[in-house]
Structure 1
Amino acid sequence: MRRTTTTPQGDLYKHQNDLPPLPVPKLAHTLDLYKESIKPLYPYGEKDEEFIKYAKIIDEFATGTQGSGLQSKLERFAADKRNWLAAFWDNYAYLDYRDPVSPFVSYFFSHRDANTAVGKDQLLKSASLTRKVLEFMETVEHETLEPELIKGAPFCMESFKWMFSNCRVPGESRDYNLVYDGSKNRFMIVISNGHIYKLQTHDDATDSILPFNALYYGLAEVLKDSEARGPNETPVGVLTSSNRDEWFSNYQKLNEISIVNKVNFEDIFKSSFVLCLDDCLPNTIEAKSRNCWHGNGLNRWFDKPLQFFVARNGSSGFLGEHSKMDGTPTLRMNDWLVGEMYKLDIDGNVAKPTTVPAIRQINFEINNEISEAIKTETETFNETVNSLDIKTWQYFGLGKDDIKAFNCSPDSFVQMLIQLAYYKYTGTLRPTYESASTRKYFRGRTETNRSVSSEALQFVKDWENPSVPVQEKLKSFRAALKSHGNYIKLASSGLGVDRHLFGLKQMIGESDEDSEVIKQFFDNPIFSYSQYWYLSTSQLSSENFNGYGWSPVVPEGLGLAYMINRKWLHINITNYKENPFGLKVDEMAYFLTLSVQELAEALRKETVKAKL
């Protein structure tokens, strides 16, 4: 863990010692909730013969020595820990994962555009963005950033310690993170034309952030130098797009080639963040989103938790490496910096500074084997990203204000909108993941909200049944909203199904492996099916973004990242172009529009009647 030498001046971490530990739910609670969550996944629900058989196994697991034994082990394991899940989760969910982090794990934000000099000029935007990121970093270092409170309850701020001067590093079978004292490493990494540069960010004498004009001219020098050199034919950064085992192998080889490479890696790891100056002109929202989501892989370092992009036309965005941070801390940073950046009244006449920041080009020494690996990974990356499709669905006829006026939870509304659209499209509902924040607990990250419920299934069936009166359809809709809201409250309180079942599974020892009840409970097909996320969803909302998303998590699936803003809705839809169900992102967008129009019309009529 980083130990910063900057003197704390604020209260960023003042609630950390008061945060409650993550609870271990009662076994009976979890298994009852689990049973309810799988009912709608069977063709005949609770009357399905397979469900009845499995329900008996669940009951035996709950009341017998096998389930209670695992529960006791987990409770003992958790007894001296403030977060029992943290001991497993980062490794299981992220660092053990061997597929490429981009495009499969990392998440992106595309910043809104502005018709100003800062909004449209690459260097003005880059210098403005850099300055604002550094100002945000200063509030984290000095701990003057306000701690977050939700309904008066403090949120864990631990992840901010991993935000700057941190990097994921490839390891054998498992990656790890290195985090450094940012106050001793006053520089950032800039990548342009595939060339990597180390750029000074603070005054050596005063340790103050360099003024805007110094940052501007430093970035201008980087851009000028990279253009003079032409595109880097062997950009080492593309290796960070590899399968993690491949990247680990090449990382080791690069370290063996030269001590220079070790120094280069250390500089990248220690840097505050990465800024990529991209030689492209993304104009559509999909093009802007794709540039943030993955780009061409040649002008990136995917292992950094904070990576920003500015294209030739000023289009900007962010990509977050996920292993130590979820989206809420970086949402806060990006939302703030975009708003602040566009307040700057700057034109193209930037005064030349008295001193230009120090710049060092980072040149890796490579051999033929590494050169071939770069070519291979470039081809593989292009094939991978070209296999994925993206569609940005934005609806300006409805927003959070309208949804609240309908007396609906905005998040539950969008979740049921997604279920209705998917049902219209496919004629069924399938397991759906929604991220629920557990940051009310120490080192809390996420729990799964299982959005498909018996009430959700009844709602979509009723809605599509022409013989059901509109009043009854809306009754079913509101029952589905209530069910969803109840589950997400439990999940946010650490009382969902998935993390607890995961914890119980980690407690299985040699003495348990021959237990038929344990085998029948965990090996039942519905256990894995109910965690096979055909729809991967999450909400992070900002008026300062025009894009936000990630990849689908299974070959048949959809990635559905959504924003609920005051006057408009946004859902980023991703999938594999070739998928077993033949799903198309454009067609899913069509059914979202159809569904939201039907829901809005019915709810508006209901609201009018209620006022009469």
Structure 2
Amino acid sequence: MNPHFNRHMAEAHSAVAFSFSVTPEGVDVNVNHEALRAVWISGVRSWKKKTATFMNHVHNGVYPASPASWLVTSGAFVGLHYAGLKQICKVVDYVSQLPGFNLIKTHETNKKIVACLAFSTGVWLVGIATLRYTLKLMFCYKGWMYEPHGKMSVATKIWLLGVKVLVNRRPLLYSYQGSLPSLPIPSINDTMKRYLRSVRPLLNDTQYARMERLVEEFRRGDGPRFQRYLILKSWWASNYVSDWWEEYVYLRGRSPIMVNSNFYGLDAIMIHPTNIQIARAANAIYAMLMFRRQMDKELIKPIMLNGTIPLCSAQYERQFNTTRIPGEESDKLVHYKSSKHIVVYHKGRYFKVYIYFKGVLLLPRQIEQMLEKIILDESEPVKGEERLAAMTAGDRIPWAKARVEHFAKGVNKTSLEAIEKSAFVVVLDDEEHDYDEEDPTKLNNFGKSMLHGKGYDRWFDKSFTLVICRNGRMGFNAEHSWADAPIMAHLWEHTLMEDTVKIGADAPIMGHLWETTIADEASLGYTADGHTRGELPFNAPNPIRLQWDLDDECCKVVDQQLAIAKALIEDVDLNLLKHDAFGKGFIKTCKMSPDAFIQMALQLAYYRDAGKFCLTYEASMTRLFREGRTETVRSCTIESAEFVKAMMDSNVSRDDKVKLFRKATDRHQMGYKDAMSGKGIDRHLFCLYVVSKYLGIESAFLKEVLSEPWRLSTSQTPHQQTDKLDLVRNPEFISAGGGFGPVADDGYGVSYIIAGEDVIFFHISCKKSCNETDPERFARNIKRAMSDMKNLFA
């Protein structure tokens, strides 16, 4: 008999808390006290969590006031009533005579106290609503974004003072959600003007005149009608874009999400705390679970711009315990409220690993012990198991059909549910990856491994997969529909810092968790031989090998999906550039935005690479608004084109080039601010297009706009989202950032991270099947562009 089956039966038997049997002597009752204790602890833990959640809801519901303010308000009214204040007494007398109070059978004095409390509660609720609405109105103000750096108008100073007075209390993660304004809908005229301006450098005079006609026809024709429907939606939707964006851009896509949608992140490559794979995995898993605990308790501080303006935190809700379920027409995101296990993939086998024992989160030393049992397990994967995750890497429709046909019952259903309900998936990889300044291809291979792996060793449907290389390096692959990169970057920054920060000059490498106990702090870090720190208070539960029964038909689908994934992998090319000639330290001396500087370098590099300009996508966030996600900054502008042409002309003086450069970066910054302020172009046009499809009306203008390819798609990886990362003192702690696959078949995907004062990492992707693109050539053009632009200020 299968030994794993025996182990499952033993565990199931021990889990029974109460059983009985009928014998000739009578009824024999057996009580498993250990199981009953586990049930009791689980129940207590559940009620504690429910109570904490309820209290957090109360706190967030009245923020920026506090629940204690009700006691103050009620006490004041009761005191004024007893003091005989005429106005209060009249109101209380009136309230006590209302129909509902006639049902209270008590002394008249007690009735008036109840009436006083009711009235004061009403006043308190009105005050809370007024306070929250005032805060929402203040957050609508975006004038502060458009003021020159270092200068502030009187109006902004007054506004800032008001905001600081209202938000001086310590907020929880979701405290500001009810006070964030809704994303405004731009007017049709404004969007049309911005659109025409954005495409002017891409079109000749004849093409531009044609586009002007299309715009005018839309503005005078169907545009206003579509706009009215969009305004109607904005009245009842929290955000008029986000739900459609998630559904139509992500979940309804039928092509593979590997490379095309999922993104990746890399390790802090300047340091290497341990070479022991399972030790690094244990600490990373523990740090992530501590982040989840803090997030569940809402103890993570919301991200605040300039320490004052909150960003929407809604995307954090689905970071853990979330999976993407395939469907024939559309996928769906499923989030589970809690998960007590992770799933580990090693050498083609899947293991369910419990992370709690008797209600207590296991320590890194215990997690390492469990992972050690996995790597020492010499059992072979069953038929089809090793490459099963290829289902999540290929086309969505075959996976959806196979899930219904082969995973709807039996052990396949149980094992699939274990993966999908896990907190996240961990891969103990069988390859080594590292960074070597003498061999750039190593970093390229590292990035490729995190982007797609072998096509069957990442569960691409999970919210994220943590990948630990054989030599202790690590990275992640994240599904994109549930959130954008900044949310995953926040978790990753926390994980890297907890895993690598040194406490004191002579202390071992260990973490420093905020809002945790000394025991939590002492449990992170590594011993001299590279293992996790701490003692084993008790042996952790054994990992459970997931069982599969995959027939020939199912294995055939797996092979077909893997063939699709391999073709995609073989076609993608990736080059990682570490630019250390200078960084934001020098750029700031030029008195311009580092992001705008880099975007101009990308424009110059692309023009040299392709000999033309192209529609350029830069992601910006709209999280200043409730449930905001992203907006597009169209980086190729009239001003950037003039600057690039000047750089290509040796007859233009350096002073003139600098003037055009500053004009281009100023224009870019204005576009970025417009996008953040809800004055973008592309999300508005996208929603108008969705409305047109619902109404069954074909719009020539919208159809053409939505089909335009983004041949240069760019994004900046955020970092230092918390005060935990100090790159001035510890520049080596910076992550190498992350990246994504190319958006257009004949274009580039470029992600970059401004890593401290002197280093910028670029992740450049494209398709090998396109003869016009080459990531190494584009990397050389970026270096050259950066150097030429620096020389303007030499």
Measured after TM superposition, the shift of residue 521 of structure 1 is: 2.5
Residue 550 in structure 1 maps to residue 740 in structure 2: yes
Contact 1:6 1:141 in 2 (8 A): no
Of 540, 560, 570 in structure 2, the residue corresponding to residue 356 of structure 1 is 540
Partners of 1:110 and 1:303 in 2: CA distance = 19
Cα displacement string for residues 200-230 of structure 1 (whole angstroms, at most 9, x for unaligned residues): 11222xx3321121111011111211x4436
Partners of 2:713 and 2:613 in 1: CA distance = 13
Partners of 1:61 and 1:555 in 2: CA distance = 29
Contact 2:355 2:361 in 1 (8 A): yes
Q: 1:233 to 1:528 in 2, by over 3 A?
A: closer
Match of 1:138 in 2: 293
Cα displacement string for residues 562-595 of structure 1 (whole angstroms, at most 9, x for unaligned residues): 111221111101111120x522111111111111
Aligned residue type for 1:412 = A
Larger Rg: 2
Match of 2:355 in 1: 201
Measured after TM superposition, the shift of residue 130 of structure 1 is: 0.8
TM-score (norm 2): 0.71
Aligned residue type for 1:7 = A
Q: 1:224 to 1:6 in 2, by over 3 A?
A: farther
Partners of 2:690 and 2:330 in 1: CA distance = 17
Cα displacement string for residues 333-384 of structure 1 (whole angstroms, at most 9, x for unaligned residues): 1011101101324124564552223421112211001112222323332222
Of 428, 442, 445 in structure 2, the residue corresponding to residue 287 of structure 1 is 445
Residue 119 in structure 1 maps to residue 299 in structure 2: no
Residue 54 in structure 1 maps to residue 200 in structure 2: no
| Equivalence map 1:505-584=2 (5 Å) | 505-508=689-692, 513=697, 519-523=699-703, 525=704, 527-528=705-706, 531-542=708-719, 544-566=734-756, 567-579=758-770, 581-584=771-774
Contact 2:736 2:753 in 1 (8 A): no
Of 590, 593, 596 in structure 2, the residue corresponding to residue 406 of structure 1 is 590
Q: 1:520 to 1:175 in 2, by over 3 A?
A: closer
Q: 1:114 to 1:229 in 2, by over 3 A?
A: farther
Residue 262 in structure 1 maps to residue 413 in structure 2: yes
Of 475, 479, 482 in structure 2, the residue corresponding to residue 317 of structure 1 is 475
Match of 1:91 in 2: 247
Cα displacement string for residues 22-78 of structure 1 (whole angstroms, at most 9, x for unaligned residues): 1111111111101101111103xxxx023123213323432x253222211211121
Contact 1:435 1:447 in 2 (8 A): yes
Q: In structure 2, the residue corresponding to 1:570 is in which secondary structure? A: strand
Measured after TM superposition, the shift of residue 602 of structure 1 is: 1.4
Aligned residue type for 1:600 = K
Q: 1:115 to 1:544 in 2, by over 3 A?
A: closer
Contact 1:261 1:364 in 2 (8 A): yes
Aligned residue type for 1:310 = I
The farther-off stretch of 13-22 and 234-243 is 234-243
Q: 1:74 to 1:406 in 2, by over 3 A?
A: same
Partners of 2:289 and 2:495 in 1: CA distance = 10
Contact 1:234 1:374 in 2 (8 A): no
Q: 1:158 to 1:511 in 2, by over 3 A?
A: closer
Q: 1:21 to 1:454 in 2, by over 3 A?
A: same
| Equivalence map 1:210-225=2 (5 Å) | 210-225=362-377
Match of 1:149 in 2: 304
Contact 1:288 1:315 in 2 (8 A): no
The farther-off stretch of 296-305 and 307-316 is 296-305
Q: In structure 2, the residue corresponding to 1:79 is in which secondary structure? A: helix
Percent of aligned positions that are identical:
26
Contact 2:393 2:456 in 1 (8 A): no
Contact 1:187 1:199 in 2 (8 A): yes
Of 449, 457, 461 in structure 2, the residue corresponding to residue 303 of structure 1 is 461
Partners of 2:245 and 2:583 in 1: CA distance = 35
Of 99, 102, 121 in structure 1, the residue corresponding to residue 258 of structure 2 is 102
Cα displacement string for residues 479-515 of structure 1 (whole angstroms, at most 9, x for unaligned residues): 11111111111111121111111111222268773xx
Partners of 2:419 and 2:693 in 1: CA distance = 41
Partners of 2:455 and 2:537 in 1: CA distance = 33
Q: 1:20 to 1:369 in 2, by over 3 A?
A: same
| Equivalence map 1:167-186=2 (5 Å) | 167-182=323-338, 185-186=339-340
Aligned residue type for 2:185 = V
Contact 2:226 2:688 in 1 (8 A): yes
Structure with bigger RCO (C-alpha 8 Å, 6+ apart): 1
Measured after TM superposition, the shift of residue 85 of structure 1 is: 1.2
Residue 7 in structure 1 maps to residue 7 in structure 2: no
Partners of 1:522 and 1:131 in 2: CA distance = 48
Cα displacement string for residues 225-253 of structure 1 (whole angstroms, at most 9, x for unaligned residues): 1x443697533222111101111111112
Match of 1:328 in 2: 486
Partners of 1:578 and 1:68 in 2: CA distance = 42
Aligned residue type for 1:464 = M
Aligned residue type for 1:275 = V
Contact 2:322 2:423 in 1 (8 A): yes
Aligned residue type for 2:206 = E
| Equivalence map 1:328-407=2 (5 Å) | 328-343=486-501, 344=510, 345-347=525-527, 348=529, 351-407=535-591
Q: 1:512 to 1:95 in 2, by over 3 A?
A: closer
Q: 1:81 to 1:538 in 2, by over 3 A?
A: same
Structure 1 runs not aligned, ≥5 long: 606-612
Q: In structure 2, the residue corresponding to 1:545 is in which secondary structure? A: coil
Aligned residue type for 2:299 = T
Measured after TM superposition, the shift of residue 541 of structure 1 is: 3.8
Residue 188 in structure 1 maps to residue 346 in structure 2: no
Residue 247 in structure 1 maps to residue 399 in structure 2: yes
Contact 1:285 1:547 in 2 (8 A): no
Residue 494 in structure 1 maps to residue 678 in structure 2: yes
TM-score (norm 1): 0.91
Partners of 2:700 and 2:330 in 1: CA distance = 30
- Paired residues in the alignment total 583
Measured after TM superposition, the shift of residue 194 of structure 1 is: 1.7
Partners of 1:243 and 1:316 in 2: CA distance = 27
Q: In structure 1, the residue corresponding to 2:407 is in which secondary structure? A: helix
Partners of 1:473 and 1:127 in 2: CA distance = 53
Of 464, 485, 509 in structure 1, the residue corresponding to residue 669 of structure 2 is 485
RMSD: 2.0
Q: In structure 1, the residue corresponding to 2:649 is in which secondary structure? A: coil
Q: In structure 2, the residue corresponding to 1:507 is in which secondary structure? A: helix
Q: In structure 2, the residue corresponding to 1:356 is in which secondary structure? A: coil
Match of 2:112 in 1: none
Q: In structure 1, the residue corresponding to 2:236 is in which secondary structure? A: coil
Partners of 1:193 and 1:261 in 2: CA distance = 19
Partners of 2:244 and 2:762 in 1: CA distance = 31
Aligned residue type for 2:778 = M
Q: In structure 2, the residue corresponding to 1:364 is in which secondary structure? A: coil
Partners of 1:509 and 1:494 in 2: CA distance = 23
Partners of 1:186 and 1:583 in 2: CA distance = 46
Q: 1:589 to 1:277 in 2, by over 3 A?
A: same
